[in-house]
Amino acid sequence: MDLLLDVGNTRLKWGLHDGQGWRGQGAVLLSALDGFADVLAGLGPVDRMLGANVAGATVGGRLGAFLERAGLTAEWIRPLDEGYGVCNAYLDPSRLGADRWAALVGARALHGGAALVVTSGTATTADVLDGQGVFQGGVILPGLDLMRLSLARDTAQLPFSDGRFERTPRRTADAIQTGCLHAQLGAIERMFRLVAAEPGSLCLLNGGAAAALAPLLECPLREVDNLVLEGLARMRQAG
């Protein structure tokens, strides 16, 4: 049994995979990271661990200590120039985020054609994967909630409050929510144009804001629970 970890900016997402499928998944807020020790204690036998960590060395060190106490060695991935069906065309492949690399590998394993690989979390990333499995590049922008938070933090009269998407908003909260959604949707749809002409191209969407974005996106779409975990599972299966 493999324990796979996606350590993001806000949450740690974990999954148990037996080589055939998922046997459990969950998440822990980084602000309550000590709770992961309790998760580990309740998982049962685990043979190996593999993870992608973009939360920094301090968080990685704390997780390493938890894992060591559970009899596991922390193994964190690094982006490759090429591997698992994906060619990394980043100008400096080593500078690509480990989470983006794992998501690309997961996308290639789930969909053999061209894809725009979108993760909508604290930040939103939209990465172009062509039909030959070449990662051509991508964009990073503030995520939906971070956009809303920045308006509340850096303006005097715009609140951080829940609004609704409206065609023509007539409340401030709705105007903020709709504007931030349009920014996300516009970036994703513009990036999708780069693969739209390729046969069978899809937007593969995952992340915490996926449920808010999916009904509004005007491009071929497949929602995936967690592309990073899917990519880690593919790497582990490949040995």
> Which are the catalytic amino acids?
99
Rounded CA separation 183/124 (Å): 11
Domain boundaries defined on the chain: 2-76, 113-225
- As a whole number, mean pLDDT of residues 185-207 equals 97
**Burial (Cβ within 10 Å: 0-12, 13-18, ≥19) of residue 17:** buried
Q: What is the pLDDT confidence band of residue 183, given thresholds at 50, 70 and 90? A: very high
**Burial (Cβ within 10 Å: 0-12, 13-18, ≥19) of residue 3:** buried
Q: Evaluate whether 128 touches 138 at the Cβ level (below 8 Å).
A: yes
Q: 2-76 and 113-225: same fold?
A: yes
Full-model pTM: 0.94
Residue 156's pLDDT is what?
85
- As a whole number, mean pLDDT of residues 76-105 equals 97
- As a whole number, mean pLDDT of residues 72-98 equals 97
Per-residue pLDDT tens over the stretch 160-171: 888 999 999 999
Per-residue pLDDT tens over the stretch 92-151: 999 999 999 999 999 999 999 999 999 999 999 999 999 999 999 999 999 999 999 999
Q: Evaluate whether 97 touches 123 at the Cβ level (below 8 Å).
A: no
Q: What are phi and psi of 86, to 5 degrees?
A: -120, 130
Q: Which residue has the tokens 């999954």?
A: 15
Per-residue pLDDT tens over the stretch 23-63: 999 999 999 999 999 999 899 899 999 999 999 999 999 99
Q: Does domain 113-225 have CATH number 3.30.420.40?
A: yes
- Tell me what the pLDDT averaged over the chain comes to: 95
Q: Evaluate whether 141 touches 124 at the Cβ level (below 8 Å).
A: yes
Residue 239's pLDDT is what?
74
- As a whole number, mean pLDDT of residues 215-230 equals 97
Q: State which fold the 2-76 domain adopts.
A: Nucleotidyltransferase; domain 5 (3.30.420)
Tokens read off for 37: 């020790």
Residue 49's pLDDT is what?
96
